Amino acid sequence: MAPNITTIAPATKPNAIVATRPENPPTCAYVTFLAGNGDYVKGVVGLMKGLRKVRSKYPLVVAVLPDVPEEHRKILVDQGCIVREIEPVYPPENQTQFAMAYYVINYSKLRIWEFVEYEKMIYLDGDIQVYDNIDHLFDLPDGQFYAVMDCFCEKTCLPTYHDLLKTLQVTPPTPFAEQDFLNMYFRDIYCPIPPIYNLVLAMLWRHPENIHLDHVKVVHYCAAGSKPWRYTGKEENMDRGDIKMLVKKWWDICNDETLDHKNYVAPAEDTEAVNLQRFLAALLEAGIFHDITAPSAA
């Protein structure tokens, strides 16, 4: 199916918000993925506020499938996210049993390679939180696919995007869906980055000798029962002190109203990035974005 390309048309509303576009829009961005009408929007809001807390100078783009409701999109825009609708990408039909049934929709993440308005993007899952500035990952040398599970840094590129979709159609799906596919596709240039950039919580009880929480920059709340906005402490391993501390740490950011887009006062060096976010949010609120269907790439 054809992707949606967002274009800007002249404002026609008499009361349209006027925003000043920054002279140098960022060439890099963080990106995450959202589908459906569930509660993952809470995770994305937390991620946006986390990036703001560590004073990232780059925006957060949220690639949303068409089934994400307008209510959730507005929440994201109000928090300063750039919302970009994409069409689903599906693997060839076969009898593969995915590790989780919903993994099949994760192939849609391949659409981010066509976001060529940015030179380089860092993908973060919506249940990730950033506790230290990681903007320096954008400065890693080109020519490698830098990644740990559900966190990767890569240049956008239309030829790569088209080849990813073409290769997908002749590649049998595997249990871990797009993770396995990307590992295969980029196997010759894959370069792992240290796990401090994506602490998977299960490591706390499987390999505690390798974990130094004081050094961790990114935490991935992917263990069963660990999503902070769903946390009850009843699931296996969820009553641990370190888990409770990390859940509280997430909530401290999410509940901090000074990190809300409308309240945030950026340090002087961050003003340009915040101005861009406000500019794009103003365009959306003024109703001057229009979606145009592009020729099918799939």
- Structural domain of 162: 28-197
Confidence of residue 94 (pLDDT cuts 50, 70, 90): low
Q: pLDDT for 3-24, tens place per residue?
A: 333 333 333 333 333 333 445 6
Q: Into how many domains does the chain fold?
A: 1
pLDDT at 190: 78
Q: State which amino acid sits at residue 213.
A: L
Give the mean pLDDT of the chain.
79
Distance CA 175, CA 104 (A): 9
Q: What separation in angstroms does the CA of 236 have from each of 149, 232, 233, 239, 254?
A: 22, 11, 8, 8, 25
- Report if residue 289 sits inside a domain: no
Contact present, 34 and 44 (Cβ < 8 Å): yes
pLDDT at 10: 34
- Report if residue 280 sits inside a domain: no
Of the ranges 91-100, 178-187, 224-233, which is most confident? 224-233
- Report if residue 177 sits inside a domain: yes
- DSSP symbols for 194-252: -GGGSEETTHHHH-GGG--GGG--EEE--STT--GGG--S-STTTT-HHHHHHHHHHHH
39-48, 93-102, 148-157: segment of lowest average pLDDT = 93-102
- Report if residue 176 sits inside a domain: yes
Adjacency order of strands within the sheet including 128-130: 128-130, 218-220, 199-200
Backbone CA torsion sign across 101, 169, 127, 175: positive
As beta bridge partners, residue 200 has 220
Please list the active-site residues: 109
- Report if residue 247 sits inside a domain: no
Contact present, 130 and 51 (Cβ < 8 Å): yes
Smallest CA-to-CA distance from 256 within 59, 38, 48, 56 is with 48
63-77, 206-220, 273-287: segment of lowest average pLDDT = 273-287
Domain at 151, CATH number: 3.90.550.10
Structure tokens of 76?
């994201």
Contact present, 211 and 204 (Cβ < 8 Å): yes
Q: At residue 86, does pLDDT exceed 90?
A: yes
Q: Token pair 């002279």 is at which residue?
A: 23
- Report if residue 239 sits inside a domain: no
pLDDT at 297: 32
Contact present, 222 and 200 (Cβ < 8 Å): yes
> Assign residue 251 a region: left if phi > 0, alpha if psi is -120 to 50, beta otherwise?
alpha
Half-sphere exposure of 58 (CA within 13 A, CB side): 22
- Report if residue 251 sits inside a domain: no
Contact present, 278 and 80 (Cβ < 8 Å): yes
- Report if residue 142 sits inside a domain: yes
Q: pLDDT for 239-269, tens place per residue?
A: 999 999 999 999 999 999 999 999 887 766 5
pLDDT at 85: 96
Q: Please indicate whether residue 245 or residue 102 has the higher confidence score (pLDDT).
A: 245
Q: Please indicate whether residue 43 or residue 163 has the higher confidence score (pLDDT).
A: 43
